[in-house]
Copies of this chain bind each other. A is one copy, B any other.
Amino acid sequence: MARVYNFSAGPSMLPLEVLKQAQTELLDYNGTGQSVMEMSHRSKEFDDIIKETERLFREVMNIPDNYKVLFLQGGGWTQFSSVPLNLMTKNGKADYIVTGQWAKKAYQEACRYGKARVVASSEDKTFTYIPKVKREDFDLEADYVYYTMNNTIYGTKFNYIPDTGDIPLVSDVSSCFLSEPVDVSKFAVIWGGAQKNVAPAGLTVVIIRDDMIGHAMDITPTLLNYKTQADKDSLFNTPPCWQIYITMLVLRWIKGLGGLDAMKQRNEKKAKLLYDYLDNSKLFKGTVVPEDRSLMNVPFVTGSDELNAKFVAEAKAAGLVNLKGHRTVGGMRASIYNAMPYEGVQALVDFMEKFEKENG
């Protein structure tokens, strides 16, 4: 069948240009006579790939020189453990801002390794907003403050960077990675799973300030100690080479389009199209307060479970797939990451208008 518009929350769409290039060179990368999938991670050919990927990451995100860029395995759940194991080692305390399930799970995992504290939460209103936190809310003895920048399930985003003073700030940026500029220098650690905006599932990128490395607890599994991979430029063991290669292609694509400023413009234009429709619809409505809306994940409902199910099924038949909301929230969710073209959002809005006429 023709390519569909895939609104999956992750893994999710990749740029068509990237997929086509990967397809073209799948049997023979750059005249090597090998697929990237077959390449020794110690070869010159792969070394060129991982070095270019890191260089592009630094360039596109404007990452300062005193930060390492690590290419790791294990997904968000590994970071939920690695963050406290590596960082909760001075006073054994950390402050968590809980704005969704993933932040809550990160907090719960941290509780296993020290005194984690919920400093603010939006669970009282099913995580539909972002709490405002001020510098004086934080424990001056906290080894770090942790938050999730964009909340995939609930469609909220921090539109400010919490002011933590001298306390190191850690953020999970999985679902807004590379979607707009971010001031890396404000963070001690920024990490993100690749499977939304960067590459296929199986790669986690950790951007970490040098002084955060080397203080892990004794119980830390060797591979979860950030120092292990930082000392070896992510080649301590075999990395997920294919995912790193796709990341390189995606970063080239982003750079070619004008970098993160251009991505932000594109993403704002796409999100505006959908939010404007939702704000004017009689049938559909968004679930998030306007000031905390995500550019990446847009949940919406009709008010009727039956109509929701009908919408999801009919949309799928029309080539607009994976619009069902997260199982814990219900309704619908359109994830419109970097690789979703404007035409895809337009097609969704057109379909919603038609559905509204037929079912309004």
A→B interface (CB under 8 Å) = 1-4, 6, 8-14, 16, 19-20, 22-23, 26-28, 31-35, 37-41, 43, 73-78, 80-82, 85, 109, 112, 193, 195, 199-203, 218-219, 221-224, 236-243, 246, 319, 321-322
Contact = CB atoms under 8 A, between A and B. Distances in A.
Contact of A75 (B19, B40, B237): B237
Contacts of A14: 35, 37-38
Given A11-B37, A201-B239, A221-B224, 9 more contacts: A2-B33, A4-B32, A11-B41, A19-B26, A26-B26, A34-B321, A73-B73, A73-B240, A201-B238
Nearest to A245: B200
A241 B242 CA distance: 12
A26 to B, nearest CB: 4
Q: Which of A20, A38, A75 has the most CB of B within 10 A?
A: A38
Nearest to A246: B37
A266 to B, nearest CB: 19
A217 to B, nearest CB: 9
A222 B109 contact: yes
Nearest to A5: B33
Contact of A28 (B3, B22, B33, B319): B3
A13 B26 contact: no
A222 B221 CA distance: 12
